[in-house]
């Protein structure tokens, strides 16, 4: 029987579901994370297929349907998980793309595995794409895939979206595979980035590093020697705003939010941090600021509480083990120095939560504190704005992509602990009169520019891109 084909194929490192144990049996459950949150409604509105790794090394499960989506797993061996994912993607690319907050490492076998896996993804996509289909590739793990797919299926339209920052050329050129990565991306017709600065960084890299290969850059279009053209532009990602606002308004979520506050002793001020446990997220900087405010007496643990949700991430990598140790040590020290029996100053939750619980946390929190050292967008900031009423406040790092859109947030430089402390205090002490117009303006932004708007804009830009000669 011929394989079913689709007019839209989405390719991402992971499928949008995880295999979990529930009631004594193994089931698929929707994954947490910004990509899944953003793409879920896009896939539900279109008849498409999603290809990605299942999260378990070895033979891939058979294709299956889940929540109205056709999911097609791609196999990764244990060695490929180690070299392609943990190695090249997160040991080489991730640090370079995030300002080298931790040093990058390079191994030739990592690069070889990255090439191999990207080629496999391209082969799977080529088999699933209908004639003239659109293939939407996501993120830094699949930067070689567009070129490989172009070689296999020159008839399809190929788009790629980068969910993380794209680095300045001075950092990017450290990568041993820099030319191959650029050539891989230039197999696409359209490249979407979170910020204009990211797109400009990519264009500068092409101009500076591919000049000898007769690649020319004019405006936002890169033209290759064979005549193929690739356009690069900013298309900032967003959330399903209406769904989050509707969920937050439900009686169950409102009641749970009130219960959370009661469980914490009904504090005067409740602060919230929600992050993957990653060294780029600035969790240590945030905790240091809170710790100093408590030590100096500017905040009191009796009436100001912080909930820090830290979703487990890449736990086999040394840098992530270190950040977990550092965060847990700091939380323990803060509570040991400032908390009372049965009333911690910081409630630390090292696990993920269902969407309903996250909405309740957003509703419960007076102040959301988002302090990444570098972030492509940060959808949590947008979710808080969509979920909370006018009496909320958002403290937001200048280095999150969301800062370019949520200009009414209380912006801070998390590296400057003194100023960050002042910004947190300002958000806590702000009156409802000051908070309300800020929250309303940010809510209008996320309502007008929601995930449906993002997807429609990306796909329209992809359809209009110059592409093949």
Is residue 389 situated within a structural domain? yes
Question: Which one of the listed residues 139, 198, 275, 375 is annotated catalytic?
Answer: 375
Cα 241 to Cα 73: distance, rounded to the nearest angstrom = 29
Chain centroid to CA 328: 23
For position 39, what pLDDT does the model report?
75
Tokens of 192: 């979407």
| Residue 179 falls in the annotated catalytic set | no
Is residue 230 situated within a structural domain? yes
> What are the φ and ψ backbone dihedral angles of 226, each rounded to 5 degrees?
-85, 5
Tell me how far CA of residue 449 lies from CA of 147, 192, 386, 411, 443, in angstroms: 31, 16, 12, 20, 10
Identify each DSSP E strand in 34-100 by its residue range.
48-53, 64-66, 69-74
For position 295, what pLDDT does the model report?
97
| Count of structural domains, the chain | 2
**Cα–Cα nearest to 390, from 436, 433, 446, 429:** 436
Residue 267 and residue 400 in one domain: yes
For position 38, what pLDDT does the model report?
66
User: Which portions of the chain are predicted below pLDDT 50?
Assistant: none
Residue 72 and residue 88 in one domain: yes
**Cα–Cα nearest to 146, from 134, 158, 129, 157:** 158
**59: CATH:** 3.40.50.2000
Residue 19 and residue 64 in one domain: yes
Residue 281 and residue 173 in one domain: no
Is residue 399 situated within a structural domain? yes
Cβ atoms of 318 and 410 within 8 Å: the answer is no
Identify each DSSP E strand in 317-399 by its residue range.
346-349, 367-370, 393-397
Residue 216 and residue 107 in one domain: yes
What is the residue range of 299's domain? 241-448
Residue 444 and residue 457 in one domain: no
For position 67, what pLDDT does the model report?
77
Is residue 469 situated within a structural domain? no
For position 373, what pLDDT does the model report?
97
For position 318, what pLDDT does the model report?
85
Residue 279 and residue 224 in one domain: no
Question: Which one of the listed residues 70, 163, 228, 338 is annotated catalytic?
Answer: 163
Residue 142 and residue 109 in one domain: yes
**316-322 LR contacts (CB < 8 Å, sep 24+):** 316/86, 317/86, 317/90, 317/91, 319/102, 319/279, 320/277, 320/278, 320/279, 322/279
pLDDT tens digits, 223-268:
999 999 999 999 999 998 999 999 999 999 999 999 999 999 999 9
For position 69, what pLDDT does the model report?
83
Chain centroid to CA 128: 26
For position 1, what pLDDT does the model report?
52
For position 192, what pLDDT does the model report?
98
| Residue 388 falls in the annotated catalytic set | no
Is residue 176 situated within a structural domain? yes
Residue 98 and residue 140 in one domain: yes
Residue 432 and residue 406 in one domain: yes
Residue 205 and residue 280 in one domain: no
Residue 85 and residue 170 in one domain: yes
């Amino acid at each position: 029987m011929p394989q079913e084909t689709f007019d839209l194929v989405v390719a991402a490192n992971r499928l949008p579901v995880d295999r979990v144990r529930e009631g004594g049996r193994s089931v698929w459950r929707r994954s947490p994370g910004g990509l899944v949150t953003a793409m879920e409604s896009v896939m539900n509105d279109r008849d498409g297929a999603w290809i990605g790794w299942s999260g378990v090394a070895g033979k891939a499960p058979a294709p299956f349907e889940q929540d109205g989506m056709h999911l097609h797993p791609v196999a990764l061996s244990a060695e490929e998980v180690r070299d392609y994912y943990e190695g090249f993607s997160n040991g080489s690319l991730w640090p370079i793309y995030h300002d080298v907050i931790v040093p990058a490492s390079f191994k030739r076998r990592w690069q070889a595995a990255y090439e191999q896996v990207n080629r496999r993804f391209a082969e799977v996509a080529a088999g699933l794409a209908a004639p003239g289909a659109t293939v939407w590739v996501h993120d830094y793990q699949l930067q070689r895939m567009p070129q490989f797919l172009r070689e296999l299926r020159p008839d399809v339209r190929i788009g790629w979206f980068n969910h993380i920052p794209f680095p300045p050329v001075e950092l990017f050129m450290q990568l041993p595979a820099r030319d191959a990565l650029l050539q891989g991306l230039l197999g696409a017709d359209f490249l979407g980035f979170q910020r204009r600065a990211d797109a400009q960084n990519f264009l500068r890299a092409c101009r500076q590093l591919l000049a000898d290969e007769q690649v020319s850059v004019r405006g936002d279009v890169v033209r290759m020697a064979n005549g193929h053209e690739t356009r690069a532009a900013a298309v900032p990602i967003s959330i399903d705003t209406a769904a989050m606002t509707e969920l937050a308004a439900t009686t169950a979520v409102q009641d749970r939010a009130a219960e959370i506050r009661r469980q914490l002793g009904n504090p005067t001020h409740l602060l919230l941090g929600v992050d993957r446990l990653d060294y780029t997220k600035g969790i240590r900087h945030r905790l240091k600021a809170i710790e100093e405010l408590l030590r100096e007496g500017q905040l009191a643990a009796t009436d100001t509480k912080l909930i820090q949700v830290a979703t487990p991430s890449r736990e086999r990598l040394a840098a992530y083990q270190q950040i977990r140790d550092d965060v847990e040590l700091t939380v323990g020290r803060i509570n040991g120095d400032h908390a009372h029996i049965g009333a911690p100053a910081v409630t630390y939750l090292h696990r993920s939560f269902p969407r309903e619980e996250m909405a309740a946390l957003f509703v419960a929190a007076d102040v959301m504190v988002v302090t990444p050292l570098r972030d492509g967008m940060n959808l949590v900031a947008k979710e808080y704005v969509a979920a909370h009423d006018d009496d909320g406040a958002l403290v937001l790092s200048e280095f999150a992509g969301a800062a370019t859109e949520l200009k009414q947030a209380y912006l801070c430089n998390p590296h400057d602990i003194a100023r960050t402390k002042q910004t947190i205090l300002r958000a806590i002490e702000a009156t409802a009169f000051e908070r309300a117009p800020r929250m309303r303006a940010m809510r209008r932004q996320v309502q007008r520019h929601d995930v449906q708007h993002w997807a429609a804009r990306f796909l329209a830009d992809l359809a209009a891109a110059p592409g093949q000669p």
